[in-house]
Structure formats: C-alpha cells, structure tokens
Amino acid sequence: MKRKNYAVYIGKFDEREIDFIAEKEGRRIYLQVAYLLATKETIEREFTPLTQVKDNYPKYVLSMDTILGGDYEGIKRMNIMDFLLSDEV
C-alpha cells in the first residue's frame, strides 16, 4: 500500500483491531489480513471489526486462501496476492 502512495495506519474499533487503514487523495480502505480463513473463529475475528465500521469505504479481508466465498455484508474477501497485483486499489 505504501508503494501505491497510501498513508497506512493501524485502526482500533471498540476492543477490536483493524489491521490497516489506508488513505490516499480523500479515499480510504480498510484491510484485515489473515494467513487462512479456515475456522469459524478466524472468520469471525477478521470480519467482525469491519462489520462495525458504518461508513461506505471499501473493506477487505485478505488471506492466502485460493478458494474464496463471496462477499460478506459488503466486505470483499480476496486472495492477498490477487489484491496486491490488482488495479482495484
């Protein structure tokens, strides 16, 4: 994200942490990063902080998973390598 000229911060929402908040030119994106989303507990831990943010900026959960489900409550779930190589951000 730094390479794409974003300012990057660590966020906190109530008692939960948001791994990264990236801002550039008035835009913001929220990022949660996990190695794999293999258990319900991991999925809940990664998605819950983002579901509590009530603005309309893009939110992503990134992992090394190669088979991913669809979006969850507007939060995009992507493979981290696909995300980093995309022009989406």
Question: Using one digit for the tens of pLDDT, what is the confidence trace for 10-61?
Answer: 988 778 899 999 999 999 999 999 999 999 999 999 999 999 999 999 999 9
In a domain, 2, yes or no: no
Query: Residue 20 sits in which domain range?
Result: 7-85
Rg of the Cα trace of the chain?
A: 12
In a domain, 33, yes or no: yes
pTM above 0.85, yes or no: yes
The torsion angles phi and psi of 45, rounded to 5 degrees, stand at: -60, -40
In a domain, 31, yes or no: yes
In a domain, 20, yes or no: yes
User: What's the confidence (pLDDT) of residue 42?
Assistant: 93
In a domain, 11, yes or no: yes
Provide the domain count of the chain. Answer: 1
Cα separation, 45 vs 39, in Å, equals 10
Tally helices (H) and strands (E) across the chain. Answer: 2, 5
